[in-house]
Amino acid sequence: MTDRPPVEKRVMAHLAALGFPFELLTCEEDRADTRTFCADTGYALENAANTLLVTSRGSNRVYAACVLLASTRLDNRTCRSLLGCNRTSFATTDDVRALTGMLVGGVTVFGLPENWPIYVDGRVYDQPFVILGSGARHGKIRISPDVFTVLRNVRRVNDLAVPVDEPDRG
């Protein structure tokens, strides 16, 4: 697809400015969900990283991006602690689109509002590469996790995620 949506152009421009080599992978929009994409392409879930947009609840909302491997899930207690609140939730599909221009299934850290904190689970850094969203549902980005060392507002959090079969810690 040569005519990319504006959000994906913004993501590509951000990546180009970072100077990190990456590969843009294509997929059908209805095959963009991480598990489906990995099953279709043969990539391991341990090499795919989901970018989840979370928000504090209440009148003073704080948004953040959490990046974790597809083989894990967000630890709610750690997320609440990072956001400094008692309750968090995932940003709604409408909020994701309104605040970032991105579509769920393609959300990525590249091109997010500059003042948002980005929390990256420590397991992500252990991978030789990660597959991330491209902002739209018809593409994925394959890139070294070293890219997180040059992004603004990134913090490595070793307990941000837990294996999917581990009970929630609250």
* Cβ atoms 43, 64 nearer than 8 A: no
* Cβ atoms 106, 141 nearer than 8 A: no
Please name which of 63, 64, 32 lies closest in space to residue 48, comparing C-alpha atoms: 32
Domain edges within the chain: 27-160
Task: Give the pLDDT confidence score for residue 167 in this predicted structure.
Answer: 58
Q: Which fold has domain 27-160?
A: YbaK protein (3.90.960)
- 68-98 in b/e burial notation, b at 16+ Cβ within 10 A? bbbbbbbbbebbbebbebeebeebeeeebee
Tell me: pLDDT of 168 over 50: yes
Residue with tokens 């689970």, as numbered in its chain:
121
Give the global pTM. Answer: 0.92
Q: How many CA atoms lie within 13 A of 31 on its CB side?
A: 11
Tell me: pLDDT of 138 over 70: yes
- The C-alpha atoms of residue 164 and residue 160 are separated, in whole angstroms, by 13
- pLDDT tens, 11-64? 999 999 999 899 999 888 889 889 999 999 999 999 999 999 999 887 788 899
**Residue type, position 125, single letter:** Y
Which residues, 6 or more positions from 45, have their beta carbon under 8 angstroms from its beta carbon? 34, 35, 38, 69, 70, 71
Q: Is 42 helix (H, G, I), strand (E, B) or coil?
A: coil
Tell me: pLDDT of 129 over 90: yes
